[in-house]
Amino acid sequence: MTQADNKKLKPTRCPLCGNDNACNNAYNSNSTCNNDKFYQSGCWCQDSSLTFPKDLIERLPKAEQGAACICINCVTSHLDGLSSQA
């Protein structure tokens, strides 16, 4: 990914599929989702029953990690794939 591509990354878009990530925090702020102030508003991604797999996050280039939330579809698809392999 080039510098120009990284600047196009939007906090409301999933960095894996490019679809809307439905991050309530991103819609309520212009900042990135790894900022402490986000945790005040709440979002689906902070549901304690949901675990973001580290290996899913690590698929992203370092520059993209924490810049936008991965969407629920990518998270659940990844988790479903892991459970079918077990």
Q: Cα–chain-centroid distance for residue 21?
A: 7
Please count the other Cβ atoms lying within 10 Å of the Cβ belonging to residue 68.
22
How far apart are alpha carbons 24 and 60 in whole angstroms?
A: 21
What pLDDT shows up at residue 86?
61
What's the length of the chain?
Answer: 86
Reading the chain (86 residues) residue by residue, the pLDDT tens digits are: 444 444 577 888 999 999 998 888 776 655 445 444 444 556 777 777 877 888 999 999 898 888 888 998 999 899 888 777 76
CA dihedral 48, 52, 54, 58 (to 10 degrees): -150
What pLDDT shows up at residue 63?
85
What pLDDT shows up at residue 41?
53
Instruction: For residue 47, report the phi and psi dihedrals to the nearest 5 degrees.
Output: -65, 125
What pLDDT shows up at residue 11?
84
